[in-house]
Amino acid sequence: MNKYFSTKLSIFVFTAPALLLFTVFCVYPLLPEIWMSLHDHDGFRNLGFVGLDNYREVLSTPSFWTAHKNTYLIVGISLLLGLPLSMMLSLFMDVQTPRLRRFFKTAAMFPAILSVTVVAQIWLAFYEPNWGLFNRILQSIGLSDWTHSWLTEKRTVMPSIGLSFLWQYIGLNAILFYTGIKTIPKDYYEAALLDGASFAQVCLKITIPLLQNVIKYVLILSTLGSMAFYSHVRVMTAGGPGDTSRTVIYQMYYTAFDTSQFGKGTAIAVIFIIQCLVISFIIQRFVARGKLEF
């Protein structure tokens, strides 16, 4: 019994500083925002308590749901396209010579260290309808009918912005996967090769299963990072045309700062935080639940 309580006491003593810091810097700052979301606030003055009216009005606004559709489209692009491509890139780097591996690692990280503004300006030039790279390529191969004004057409604007986001961070995820691959003991690979396993079988039966914890981390990082998608939209389209390229974060910014409805803006922020917590819980609960031991 004394051993049981001493163990629990030790856990509390060592975790208390981290819990205190988390409470002070993460939990406590949310409380004033939740309180503001229950008021009619213009950023300078509290115009009165309105209860849940801000939430009701936000949830009944069509642009709020358009923003959610766009946000989860970016999440889908990041997860369904980005993660498999990052995994393939990491596997490709792992089988290269040391010199080529250094080159590909540097090339993969380069977009991620660039400023979002720089990346957005590069892709704005690619998408320029008159002299942009993409339309010029289509024209040069006889596909002029496929050219678009990529960032001003409703059906192409979000995939176009999502592609720029994907390009910037696909290499970073590949480096994370590659780092995880290097922690896997070589004995497994040597045994598989002696048994005559192909490269694809080694990847599917050894590498990917033993990367489950890294995959979970990258999945959370990519999902929450995609949900917080804002800067590319701000630079490339400013939410246009109309409100068709707004994301949840952009909708929150627009509501709070452009229309001076800080109560509604913070209501959007609270809803967004709840969604992120739920998604994080689902990933933690259902992805890579088994204990991994080498």
Of 106, 79, 59, 93, nearest to 248 by C-alpha is: 59
| Long-range contact pairs involving 186-192 (C-beta distance under 8 Å, separation at least 24) | none
Would you tell me how many other CB atoms lie within 10 Å of the CB of residue 163? Answer: 18
Would you tell me how many other CB atoms lie within 10 Å of the CB of residue 16? Answer: 10
- Structure confidence at residue 55 (pLDDT): 95
DSSP string, 77-140: IIIIIIHHHHHHHHHHHHTS-HHHHHHHHHHHHHHHHS-HHHHHHHHHHHH-TTT-HHHHHHHH
- Structure confidence at residue 291 (pLDDT): 60
- Structure confidence at residue 292 (pLDDT): 60
- Structure confidence at residue 197 (pLDDT): 84
Residue tagged 């300006």 (tokens) = 121
CA distance linking residue 12 with residue 22, whole number of Å: 14
- Structure confidence at residue 199 (pLDDT): 83
Which class in CATH covers the domain with range 83-241? mainly alpha
Structure tokens at 233: 């939209």
CA distance linking residue 277 with residue 264, whole number of Å: 20
End-to-end CA gap in the chain: 33
Intervals of the chain under pLDDT 50: none
Domain ranges across the chain:
29-60+247-287, 83-241
- Structure confidence at residue 68 (pLDDT): 94
CA distance linking residue 136 with residue 130, whole number of Å: 8
- In three-state secondary structure terms, 197 is coil
Contact between 24 and 18 under an 8 Å Cβ cutoff? The reply is no
Condensed to tens digits (0 to 9), the pLDDT of residues 27-84 reads: 888 888 889 999 998 878 888 899 899 999 999 999 999 999 999 999 999 999 999 9
Residue 123 one-letter amino acid: W
CA distance linking residue 261 with residue 267, whole number of Å: 10
Contact between 40 and 263 under an 8 Å Cβ cutoff? The reply is yes
- Structure confidence at residue 7 (pLDDT): 72
